[in-house]
Amino acid sequence: MPQAAQQAAGKGGFACAKLPGEVDDKPRLEAGRQSSAQRCRVLRARKKAGNGVARATIIGTMQRAAVANLSPAGRADLARQIKRWGSELGFQQVGIADADLSAAEARLLDWLGRGFHGEMDYMARHGADRARPGTLVPGTVRVIAARMNYWPAQVRDSETVLNDGARAFISRYATGRDYHAVMRKRLQRLADRISDCVEGFRYRAFTDSAPVMEVELAGKAGLGWRGKHTLLLNREAGSYFFLGEIYTDLALPVDGPRDDHCGSCQKCLDVCPTRAIVAPYQLDARRCISYLTIEHKSAIPEALRPLIGNRVYGCDDCQLVCPWNRFAAPSAEPDFAVRSGLDDTTLIELFGWTEGQFQDRLAGSAIRRIGYLRWLRNLAVGLGNAPTSRDVVEALGARADYASALVREHVAWALARHDKR
């Protein structure tokens, strides 16, 4: 599953945003005074007017009277404003959760103990810290969770590509611009708006980065429920969305979790090509095609290679079959539009890219993160599963003596597959 990128100044603590230079005749965030909406309009108007009031980032101890003086009604008003701002910034939903993940900690440690994380050593390295937001960012009491749709508005039908063994299937979240950059900037803009209104607002923002239990937090914030495939599901949006979080010490009112609506359905378990979903709500990443083609750095286990088919970056099978994705809406974000024809390209064409072409054509793409060698490794597996043809065998043969042992081994396996046919 996709993970990376954080925003925030300072190490191990909050980025503290403050409006400096205020004197008694300037708006103060006091209980019983203006509503947060009114206050924010005043502050934004002052900034637009160029009166010199600017935002500064300050690390360390600071005066937090403005935050402390927010009344319960003021905090509730601010929470409503945050959700409205999120919508204005392109998030389809924003919710607020408390920071108590103790119920999830035992499940996480059991999952790690069973080795289901594979080569993702960073998950075991941080261990229980994932379930303790206050350890990751001291002082955290609330998490603002947001989701953003990613399904491209114009994209080749997934089933059509998957059923054509000569073509390369790339998970649809990765066919556009790298979501880390998009989400990070939007979360920062949301945090900036809060900072405009709350003196002493302290936060750190994450999107698929650091040891954060995104699905658990999003579920507690009311954005959906954990599906049997372990992804977050929403009745109005399915699962085709990214998640991001803002950790803060501002005690905002929280939203309640949603009910589980998977019922007796187990289509995601049945469709998984490698049987990576070993039980409802349990994923063995070592068998997951998304893990094998993205996170896994070494040779792909031979027994799993034929099951991967033409999936060269990620796998959407468990989402494609989910009934709730009938309600998923395409993204209106230009950044998530398909780039470089990645939704409908042949395995041979992609395998023929030079390293320079890989870097140029995937600039700004999440795919670039796996590097050229793993890209060739994945494509060699796809070509090994492709229908036998002279073009396929020639393409593989051209890299039979490739400098990388990782690539050579997968090419040899693919060629042997065709020799046996």
* Residue 405 clears pLDDT 70, i.e. is over it: yes
Q: What is the mean pLDDT of residues 281-301?
A: 98
pLDDT over 70 at 43, yes or no: no
pLDDT tens digits for range 12-21: 345 433 322 2
Q: Is the pLDDT of residue 39 over 70?
A: no
For the chain, the domains span 6-248, 267-419
**pLDDT-based confidence at 421, cuts 50/70/90?**
confident
Q: For 365-378, what is the mean pLDDT?
A: 98
State the chain's mean pLDDT as an integer.
87
pTM of the model: 0.85
The pair of structure tokens assigned to 240 is 């085709």
For 153-196, write each residue's pLDDT tens digit.
Answer: 999 999 999 999 999 999 999 999 999 999 999 999 999 999 99
With beta carbons less than 8 A apart as the criterion, state whether 42 and 53 touch. no
Q: What are phi and psi of 240, to 5 degrees?
A: -85, 70
Distance (Å, whole) CA 171 – CA 248: 32
Q: Which of 77, 178, 208, 343 is catalytic?
A: 208
Judge whether 401 counts as a catalytic residue: no
Residues 6+ away with beta carbon under 8 Å from 49: none
Within 10 angstroms of residue 372's Cβ, the number of other Cβ atoms is: 18
Residues 74-85: pLDDT tens digits?
999 999 999 999
Residue 66, pLDDT score? 61
Residue 141: beta bridge partners? none
Compute the average pLDDT of residues 386-397. Answer: 98
d(CA 420, CA 191): 58
How high is the pLDDT of residue 40? 59
